[in-house]
Structure 1
């Protein structure tokens, strides 16, 4: 089976959490609805820098697992403020679902869009 990169929008990289990473997420004050032991990168296909996957959200803080071929770490972030439909008051499917400061294009629940579309 091959990956058709013409239709691929998200990065295909995956990571399996180790025992200490699972323990970290289990120790957060808000239990994850269904913590997965394997996560996929949520950035756009072909992105630069480390891979990233949302591990868990606790109130306004999102805990993202970031990794390369040689290392991984869990970092706290807030939501990316970009919106496809600026001026809305609450988060919806048109808001970027990545972390503030991410590299590459913005992503919503349904699609990727360029940074100038969010302005």
Structure 2
């Protein structure tokens, strides 16, 4: 197993979702895989502000879990508009995989279930 360079630059923070948060995700109308109870921050290591992990995507809305040492919440966002190729028709590994307005660098980490949902 190889370690991608980008993996070394991702924040190591983790969060465990509570029962109410899991129930929220279970109630969303989507065909995406079920949400894991423990998620890792997807932002750049050393980022400003709260940590963030994608919980679920429903149509054009992405539900992100954001947390600090004292609290966590679920917030709706749209995709970050940054892309390496202009005028792309679908999201792929060349588009930023984070939410619009995220702190730090853009991430081009591809999520396989997002690509299959977009197809």
- Whether these two folds match at TM > 0.5 is yes
5+ long unaligned stretches in structure 2? 1-6, 111-119
Corresponding position of 1:43: 43
1:15 corresponds to 2:15: yes
Residues of 1 paired with 2:18 and 2:27: CA distance?
14
Gap regions ≥5 residues in structure 1 = 1-6, 111-119
Residue 58 and residue 77 in structure 1: after superposition, are their counterparts in 2 closer, same or farther (change >3 A)? same
**Map of 2:113 onto structure 1:** none
Larger Rg: 1
The Cα shift of 1:86 comes to 2.1
- Within a 5 Å distance, the mapping from 1:68-87 to structure 2 comes to 68-87=68-87
Runs of 4+ residues deviating >4 angstroms: none
Q: Are 1:33 and 2:59 matched, yes or no?
A: no
User: Which range is displaced more, 87-96 or 60-69?
Assistant: 87-96
The CA deviation string for residues 41-60 of structure 1, in whole angstroms up to 9 with x for no partner, is 00001101000000000010
More helix by share: 2
CA contact (8 A) 1:26 1:32 kept: no
> 2:30 & 2:103 partners in 1: Cα distance?
28
CA distance in 1, matches of 2:74, 2:83: 25
Equivalent in the alignment of 1:95 = 95
Distance 2:63 2:88 in 1: 24
